[in-house]
Chain A
Amino acid sequence: MATQDDRISLLQGTLDLLILRTLIFGAQHGQGVARAIQQQSEDVLIVDHGTLYPALQRLEGKGWIAAEWGLSENNRRARFYKLTAAGKKQLTQETSQWRKMAAAIGRVLGPES
């Protein structure tokens, strides 16, 4: 698990990609999305919950995710988001771009000394 100092804020523009990636496993509410990103990054990435919901709203506006109210596993009422077909297509595209960029930056930085 990462310590407090190891944690980093998300890069600008990466939150949308991570949300889309998290939702590929099934419908999830906002709190679950935030938790999933933190757990999958082994607590390195910090999701600011205040910016998560505007991002979800933005993705819903673009038609990449859809939302509806439902009940969580502990019987709490929550708004669940799921990936749409357009969202899956967008995820594939953005994932490809991100991998290319990460590889390119890795090459520029060189091997870890």
Chain B
Amino acid sequence: MWWNRKQRDFNAEIEAHLQLEADQFRAGGLTPDEADAAARRDFGNRTLAEERFYESQRWMFFDTLVRDVRFAARVLMKDASFSLLAILGLALGIGLSTTIFALINTAIHIRSAMGETDPGYVGIVRTEKGHPRAEARLSYPDYVYFQSRATVFRDIKAESGRYLFILGSLSSRGSGPRRRRPRAGLIRRISCRRRGFDPRSAELFRRRRSGSADLPSR
């Protein structure tokens, strides 16, 4: 069948054609060499005909793909140490960029999630760091004062440089008239500040009945 035809069979047919053609030229009086040359000249591009047949017998996409893979394998094997180095370099680069992306993506995601879902992390008031009287500038009663009059922000976090003051609702429960009044508290400095702040994990110091805070000893 034509679809099972081998390239070798097609090439043999072309060769037979050239011989038959050369025979005719010889019968016309040409020398064997001249007849062969004339037959080849009359036929035209033999390689093109063979290539057309080759391409008609295959799915050229897969054929090219296999050839490309084999060529790549040969080139890589030619200098195996260099190839290994290149592959390791690529792997390291891809791994590093993936890790950096994952870190940045996670950080953005955490900040976004906290801002949206955590009611204790909306507004920040900060005293000047390094100022000798930094902590004296903003006391806990000040925060309570701000908190009781806060109408714009639902929650406020303040940092003195030594302690973190959280004013506002750490957890807002209920709704309408039965909604709990936001609680205020002083929390200890969080050891993992550099990696982020999670009010839910902070230790709260309850307010005394007199109204002053149970401040931690220095």
Binding site for B on A (CB under 8 A): 29-32, 35, 48-51, 53-54, 57-58, 60-61, 67, 72, 74, 76-79
Contact = CB atoms under 8 A, between A and B. Distances in A.
Contacts of B3: 61
A79 B46 contact: no
B44 interface: yes
B13 A78 contact: yes
Contact of A31 (B10, B20, B44, B48): B20
B198 interface: no
Contacts, number: 61
A50 B49 contact: yes
Interface in B1-30: 2-3, 5, 10, 12-14, 16-17, 19-21, 23-24
A74 B5 CA distance: 26
B64 interface: no
14 contacts: A49-B43, A49-B44, A49-B49, A50-B45, A50-B52, A53-B17, A57-B2, A57-B10, A61-B3, A76-B23, A77-B16, A78-B13, A78-B16, A79-B16
Contacts of B53: 53-54, 57
Interface in B31-67: 42-46, 48-49, 52-53, 56
Contacts of A53: 10, 13-14, 17, 49, 52-53
A29 B16 contact: yes
A58 B55 CA distance: 12
Contact of A76 (B19, B42, B46, B48): B19
Contacts of B24: 35
A67 to B, nearest CB: 8
Given A31-B21, A74-B23, A50 B16 contact: no
A58 B49 CA distance: 13
A54 B52 contact: yes
Contacts of B46: 50
Nearest to A53: B49
A54 B44 contact: no
Given A53-B10, A74-B23, A29 B45 contact: no
